[in-house]
Amino acid sequence: MAAHSLSRTFAVATRTSCLFALETECTRSQLLLGARASQLRGFRGVSARGKGESLGKVEFGRGGMLRRRGSGGGDGKRGAAQAESSTLEKEKKKGLPEGYMEEMQQFLWKDLVHLFDEQGIDKSMYDDKVEFRDPITKYDSLNGYLINITVLRTVFRPIFELHSVKQTGPYEITTRWTMTMNFWIVLWQPQLLFTGVSIMRVNPETGKFNAHIDRWDSIENNEYFSFEGAKDVIRQMQYFKQPDLETPEYKVWKRTAVYQVREYEPVVMVETDCDSIAGSNNFNTVAGYIFGKNEKGEKMKMTTPVFTETTGSAPSASGAKLQIVLPSSCKSSE
């Protein structure tokens, strides 16, 4: 006699009869089928129902083993509930502890300042398979990611400034930054400037970063490979002679294709009111102050930039102001 247990007890007699015994917690039913052993070979299945339960179909498998093809009722529902509960428990285990993403934000504040210095980033906080992508480069491993950082550090000597770090999704942190790169290996040593955001994704199963996606403010198409991004790089690498004029210190927060958002250090300026910012008369008025038309009759060196403030739409705005920065040698009392 061969027997196989599937949460109930099934017994099969193979000589002159076949006996199915169904045992449950509350009831016990017996179903007796009289048949010869040869007739069992043609048996495919039987539907049986105990009190308050549906057994479903049972069939013989290879080697005389019994297999359950499907069931409904109490045990089926309990099994589904147990499976669902088990899945939920696994999902909970995949999640990160409360406060973990806040700790990862603090980690980035401390770690990214070493992105291009000799210390480098803490690679133990990154998965072996890391997706790195910006508009013109792409890597799918931690080694590739680290090689890209090394190449940039060697060829461009970047200066990286981190402005903000904030959580933007359940397992996502977004940083805003400015990066200045000096292409020192060519004679004119052009300076490339990029601002943008990095989307850092955390793997909830390992608690490590598994993606770093850069998006530049200066272009619209940030998908790899972006010809717009390549064009932006080439444009900045072209030879351009910067005027040898004093310029106040400033920090670039955002550089787009048409404008920059800058934060200047405190400066002293001379300004004039004008009805329109168009034409050269207004510029000559403030420039005259630098060229000697001031209380001391002192001539000063020309500086950059020239600022304009308007209350209307340029270029013929009313209520405008034109301002020129004075050299750093001038004091505010003047």
pLDDT in tens, 26-69: 334 343 334 333 443 443 333 334 444 433 433 434 434 334 44
pLDDT of residue 308: 86
Q: Residues near 136 by Cβ (< 8 Å), separated by ≥ 6? A: 224, 225, 226, 229, 230, 233
The tokens for 160 are: 């990286």
Domain locations in the chain as residue ranges: 3-94, 100-237, 266-325
pLDDT of residue 268: 93
Residue 200 has pLDDT above 80, yes or no: yes
pLDDT of residue 21: 35
- Collapse the DSSP code of 165 into the 3-class scheme (helix H, G, I; strand E, B; otherwise coil) and give the result: strand
Distance separating the N- and C-terminal Cα atoms of the chain: 112
pTM of the entire predicted model: 0.69
CB 179 within 8 A of CB 251: no
> Which residue has tokens 């599937």?
6
How far lies 181's CA from each of 89, 120, 193, 264, in Å? Answer: 48, 17, 6, 20
Neighbours of 55 (CB within 10 A): 23
What is the CA angle 144-150-153, rounded to 5? 145
Residue 138 has pLDDT above 60, yes or no: yes
Residue 231 has pLDDT above 70, yes or no: yes
Residue 149 has pLDDT above 70, yes or no: yes
| Percent of the chain scoring above 90 in pLDDT | 57
84, amino acid identity: E
Torsion angle of the four alpha carbons 273, 277, 281, 283, in this order, in degrees rounded to the nearest 10? 80
pLDDT of residue 312: 64
How far lies 37's CA from each of 17, 19, 22, 90, 156, in Å? Answer: 7, 12, 21, 47, 85
CATH class for the domain made up of 100-237? alpha beta
For residues 215 and 198, give the distance between their C-alpha atoms in angstroms, rounded to a whole number: 6
The tokens for 51 are: 């009190």
**Averaged pLDDT for residues 156-185:** 97
Residue 311 has pLDDT above 50, yes or no: yes
